[in-house]
């Protein structure tokens, strides 16, 4: 559903359709069950921090994967995790030693995901694929 221009400007991003809030390629990745990350400011200089959005998988996703395809689901839930990692350990196998999980929460749908991101102060366009970052997992 598209809103007239004058209404789009006054709506809260959470009240807009998902397609108007997240870049199309990233929204598609989430609906296909692929994670996204955004680097955020760390609390201490020896750390780097990320917020990870990990789509929740279901039995239907496992069946589709077994058949060689990814299931698109616009009613999927998400786990958001905010973690800090020690910079000097990011390149090794022990990247999680000294890491801090600051927040972990479940968003039951896209609307609650957008609300949580807004509460955390992270714009959806900041998210990218983990392999395009130094995200350690």
pLDDT 10s per residue in the chain (137 long)?
444 444 334 334 445 555 557 899 999 999 999 999 999 999 999 999 999 999 999 999 999 999 999 999 999 999 999 999 999 999 888 898 999 999 999 999 999 999 999 999 999 999 999 999 999 97
Q: Does residue 71 contact residue 32 with C-beta atoms inside 8 Å?
A: yes
- Which bin fits 28, alpha (ψ -120 to 50), beta or left (φ > 0)? alpha
| pLDDT, position 20 | 55
């Amino acid at each position: 559903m598209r809103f007239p221009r004058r209404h789009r400007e006054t709506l809260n991003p959470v009240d807009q359709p998902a397609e108007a809030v997240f870049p199309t390629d990233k929204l598609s990745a989430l609906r296909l069950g692929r994670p996204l990350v955004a680097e955020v400011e760390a609390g201490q200089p020896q750390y780097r921090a990320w917020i990870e959005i990990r789509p929740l998988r279901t039995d239907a996703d496992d069946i589709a994967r077994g058949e060689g395809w990814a299931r698109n689901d616009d009613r999927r839930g998400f786990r958001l995790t905010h973690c800090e990692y020690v910079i000097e350990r990011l390149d090794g196998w022990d990247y999680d030693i000294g890491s801090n999980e600051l927040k972990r929460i479940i968003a039951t749908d896209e609307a609650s995901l957008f609300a949580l991101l807004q509460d955390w102060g992270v714009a959806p366009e900041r998210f990218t694929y983990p392999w395009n970052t130094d995200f350690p997992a």
